[in-house]
Amino acid sequence: MSVRQNSDDRGSSHGAGSARTGPTVEFAFGAVFTSLLTIPLQAPKDEILTVSDLLPTSSGRFWVVDAKVAALKIYSQEGRQLRSLAQRATGLRRPVGLASLHGRWIAALDGHLPAVVIMDEAGRVVRRFPLPELDRPVQVCNLGDRILAVVGAGWGPGQGRLVHLYTKSGEYIESLFGEPRRKPASGRAYMAAAGSAMYMGHDRTDSFAIYDVEARGVVAFSNLNPAISDGRGRYGGDAVLSGLFAASCGPLIAQFAPGSGRDYRYDLYSLDGKPMALALHSPERVVSVEGSLFYSVRTDGDGNNELRVWRMSFAAG
């Protein structure tokens, strides 16, 4: 996908929409990431788009999970909605996540009847396989273009395991990572993939695991904040983990949803778990990563969505 550089390359929103008034708080995020492109995601009249997940494809189009209406939306490079794929077209009762497969297929996760549906870029269903090992799936990742990893809620047939590995054809491999024992017994696990490495975190812990798929073992288990020992989370309960994102060249991004504030917070780590930059603030919500590019969405008070494309401003190492 070709991108053009905004005149403002430090992450402020001036280049994206100079008509918007009021200050923005992006200086910390923009000090690490460079804004390359801003795309308004247009919704049909009388519709409000809810971006639950987003996947850039090799054709330059963007697939969006709109959880509010239980549909997949396909957008052009310019942000024009091309298609809306509801259950009748895909068989997905409640789409919750997307992953690219071989760069030309889309793996869509059904959170209602646990299953993965494989589609081509035109939205045609290629195959579907069930996920009997887990309940309430919430995320799917592609590990090295060889394995599909699905994050569940830790309940049901998976016997308390949060991450479940499958071949691309749907054959079950194994289940990993037990539900944290910290009370209350609820929460959400998040995962990111970079090559054959898998990164797993949970919003009720202060650590994340680095799992080597080739060696089939945890190679590191890093503490997000060694100073916190009261179980209130990385930011003392003011924000909770809401996503993990990784590029093959780094970094690993831990995203924390706003608590009392309006900005997301971000911690950046090298792929071996070493801190790179901590406590970045931004109203941007990162939703996807492709190669060295990161994608974020910002929604205004009227429900309008802007998709932004970013790259690292320095080498991740």
Q: What is the DSSP string of 72-141?
A: EEEE-TTS-EEEEE-HHHH--SSEEEEEEETTTEEEEEETTTTEEEEEETTS-EEEEEE-TT-SS--EEE
CA distance 219 to 210: 6
pLDDT at residue number 314 = 67
Q: Are 314 and 270 in contact, with CB atoms under 8 Å apart?
A: no
Is pLDDT larger for residue 157 or for residue 11? Answer: 157
pLDDT at residue number 181 = 66
What total number of domains does the chain contain?
1
Give 3-state DSSP helix, strand, coil % of the chain, rounded to 5: 5, 45, 50
In a domain, 307, yes or no: no
- Output the pTM of the full model: 0.85
The yes-or-no verdict on residue 144 having pLDDT over 70 is yes
Is pLDDT larger for residue 151 or for residue 20? Answer: 151
Average pLDDT over residues 182-195: 79
Report residue 10's pLDDT band, with 50, 70 and 90 as the boundaries: very low
Q: Among 95-109, 140-154, 229-243, name the one with the lowest average pLDDT.
A: 229-243
pLDDT in tens, 248-260: 888 899 999 887 6
Residue type, 159: Q
Is pLDDT larger for residue 237 or for residue 43? Answer: 43
CA distance 45 to 189: 35
Report residue 22's pLDDT band, with 50, 70 and 90 as the boundaries: very low
In a domain, 181, yes or no: no
pLDDT at residue number 47 = 86
In a domain, 128, yes or no: no
Q: Among 37-41, 151-155, 177-181, 265-269, name the one with the lowest average pLDDT.
A: 177-181
pLDDT at residue number 255 = 93
Question: Which of 248, 255, 260, 256 is CA-nearest to residue 289?
Answer: 248
Average pLDDT over residues 141-155: 89
Average pLDDT over residues 9-22: 35
Average pLDDT over residues 271-276: 86
pLDDT at residue number 23 = 31
Percent of the residues in the chain that have a pLDDT greater than 90, as a whole number: 45
In a domain, 18, yes or no: yes
Report residue 20's pLDDT band, with 50, 70 and 90 as the boundaries: very low
pLDDT in tens, 82-106: 999 999 999 999 999 999 998 889 9
In a domain, 2, yes or no: yes
Its domain, for residue 5, covers 1-33
- DSSP, residue by residue, 133-196: T-SS--EEEEETTTEEEEE--S-GGGTTEEEEEEETT--EEEEEEEPP-PSSS---EEEEEETT
In a domain, 12, yes or no: yes
